[in-house]
Amino acid sequence: MLEKFELDTAGVREVLKGQAVRDLVDGYAQTVADNVKAKVPSGVPIEVRKYTTDRGAATVVVADVRGMAWQARDGILTQSASAAGLEVKAAGAEE
């Protein structure tokens, strides 16, 4: 029986900043980008922009003026993230 549980915040921080999480985030971002490429005309640039906050992060960008319209009308980024197995929520959405 578990009598006491203590969260090791330093250990969690170390894991989140580690290469394994970075690789996981980058892999999902590339999968989303590949899914988006299948939904737009050939030659439309789709970029994965990797960055770091307090942990590894990435953004998938449709580097085309039509990108916002495709997202608004067809949800190409939302659908592509969902197809990659990611849960998509509105910014600030509570559970």
Vertex 42, ends 34 and 38: CA angle to 5°? 30
Domain range spanning residue 57?
15-83
The answer to whether 31 and 81 are in contact (CB under 8 A) is: no
Q: What is the mean pLDDT of residues 43-62?
A: 95
Asked if residue 37 is part of any domain, the answer here is yes
Asked if residue 78 is part of any domain, the answer here is yes
Q: Helix (H, G, I), strand (E, B), or coil: what is residue 8?
A: coil
Instruction: Considering only residues 40 and 1, tell me which one the structure prediction assigns the higher pLDDT.
Output: 40
Asked if residue 6 is part of any domain, the answer here is no
Q: Give the Cα separation of 71 and 46 in Å (integer).
A: 13
CA-to-CA separations, 32 to 21, 73, 88, in angstroms, rounded: 17, 18, 12
Asked if residue 34 is part of any domain, the answer here is yes
**Is residue 58 predicted with pLDDT exceeding 70?**
yes
**Is residue 95 predicted with pLDDT exceeding 70?**
no
Q: Give the Cα separation of 34 and 42 in Å (integer).
A: 12
Token digits of residue 49: 């922009």
Give the total number of structural domains in the chain. 1
**Is residue 94 predicted with pLDDT exceeding 80?**
no
